[in-house]
Chain A
Amino acid sequence: MNEVGEAITFLLDPASWSGTDGLGRQLTEQVLLTVTALLVVVLVGLPLGLWFGHRGRGGTFAINVSNVGRAVPVFAVLALLSLGPVGTGVFGPYGRAGLATLIALVLFGLPPVITNAYVGVREVDPEVVEAARGTGMSEWQVFRSVELPLAAGLVANGVRLAVVQLWATATIAALVAGPGLGNTITYGFSNNTYRYVIGGAILVALGAIVLEGVAALVERAVDPMRRVRGSGQNGLVHTPQTTAS
């Protein structure tokens, strides 16, 4: 318990936050990695998943990729990338091995976004879509005014799962000499200074919970069906992978 106190003192000390390997720099790297990867994942994954869902095809492939992806350790992908051509070189503000980390983040962020967008659109009642077409709506209108609002909850849930995944993956980057807050933890372990280990872990865990909370609020805000449905959609059981036996 004494060590937890020391860890909190460490976190509150302004000196811990400054410098080239201070917490400030590491937190910036980690947030930058998460935000950049999230942008890429949303810009690439959402249109793809929504389009698959609207066409009703391509999604099984996406779900299979998600299932296989779960078996691939984040750590292994980071290791393979960092020893590969993208290497451990410094990548701008993302730091050492920044590019390898960014690629790994995108790879692990895409599956939940694509899968949930696909399933969200697919699960819209076909009779509702049929009725919308019957009233003379164009394909785009059907998608924009019917499918998208009805799918919004699940789509946002996929983004939320991705955010949590991205943050966790960015933490692991430290194991391949990459950037981010994981460095405080690994440094603490290798030097037996447990206030670093606990301090770093507290920061990482708090960051994850804050991100999850913000994502949950966004998820509720964008779902126009939340009042109708009542208490709804829970990410884990509703991930389609769970029932894809």
Chain B
Amino acid sequence: MHVVSLAAVTTSSAVLAADPPCYARSVNAWICPEYVERYAPELLDATVQHLFLTVTSVALGLVLAVALALVARNRPRMRSALQGSTTIVYTIPSLAMFSLLAQATGLSPTTVIVGLGLYSLAILVRNVLAGLDAVPAEVVEAATGLGYGRLRLLTRVEAPLAVPIVMAGLRVATVSTVAMVTLGTIVAYGGLGNMLANGIDDAFKAQVFTTSVLCVVLAVLLDLLLVAFTRLVTPWTRGVAT
């Protein structure tokens, strides 16, 4: 019995060794779990870089958007100038944007972060302004009547009420940033986009497919995370039909 089973094991492992893995050049399968196993460290590094570039870009965009929106909110001309200029920035294709920024910041993560931060600014400025506009005037009046100063009014009353609309914008900005980080590969910092680019050069199907899927998964996970966070910080919106 023992001998037979041992023989069976030997043959099966011999067969395994003879079979080229599905990521071998001769097979070049699109879907290949062995590729994921073999390249797990590289995939992890690329995903971490992707996540870092996304989070930093969106954070930069959010900080700038909040600051600009607060300055411009009660100044109609500045407001329309701000919205107009961010829209123009938004129309510049990312490949051109990274190329132009690279002249100042070189082949570095900064180029990608500044570029993507500027794009997210277009979405976020609008949503921060829309969020602040959506605070009912009576609420502001009531808080002022209670003796709230401008800072306390902003942090205690206006900011929390603006959160749902700001978060909606943050979701859009985050998801599209995850997709656009891939193009950072033009300046050598594209997270999963770097592996995607290598995959194209080598016609490496498993790599192209796996990294594409990972990009989408990353975007969906971050989106879900933002939804969960929004629910957590705005308990009063739960159960209210929108």
Q: How far is the CA of A182 from the CA of B197 in the complex (A)?
A: 15
Q: Is the C-beta of A167 less than 8 angstroms from some C-beta in chain B?
A: yes
Dominant SS among interface residues on chain A: helix
Please, which residues of chain B bring their CB within 8 A of the CB of A245? 164, 167-168, 171, 227, 230, 242
A150 at interface by CB-CB < 8 Å: no
Interface residues on B, range: 35 or more
User: B211 in the interface, Cβ–Cβ < 8 Å?
Assistant: yes
Write out, one digit per residue, whether chain A residues 195-224 have a CB within 8 A of any chain B CB (1) or not (0): 001101110110011011000000000000
A70–B126 touching, CB < 8 Å: no
Q: For A200, give the chain B residue with the smallest CB separation.
A: B99
CB pair A237 B127 closer than 8 Å: yes
Closest chain B CB from A240 CB (angstroms): 11
Total contacts A to B, CB within 8 angstroms? 152
A71 pairs with B220, CB closer than 8 A:
yes
Q: Please tell me if the beta carbons of B200 and A175 are within 8 angstroms of each other in the complex.
A: yes
Question: Which of B172, B185, B203, B211 contacts A83 (CB under 8 A)?
Answer: B203
The residues in B between 191 and 233 inclusive whose CB is less than 8 angstroms from any CB of A are: 193, 196-197, 199-200, 203, 205, 208-209, 211-212, 215-216, 219-220, 223, 227, 230
Chain B contacts to A: CB under 8 angstroms: 83, 87-88, 90-97, 99-100, 102-103, 122-123, 126-127, 130, 164-165, 167-169, 171-172, 175-176, 178-180, 182-183, 185-187, 193, 196-197, 199-200, 203, 205, 208-209, 211-212, 215-216, 219-220, 223, 227, 230, 242
- Hey, which bits of chain A sit against chain B, CB under 8 A? 3-4, 67, 70-77, 79-80, 82-83, 164, 167-168, 171-172, 174-177, 182, 185-186, 188-189, 194, 197-198, 200-202, 204-205, 208-209, 211-212, 234-237, 241-245
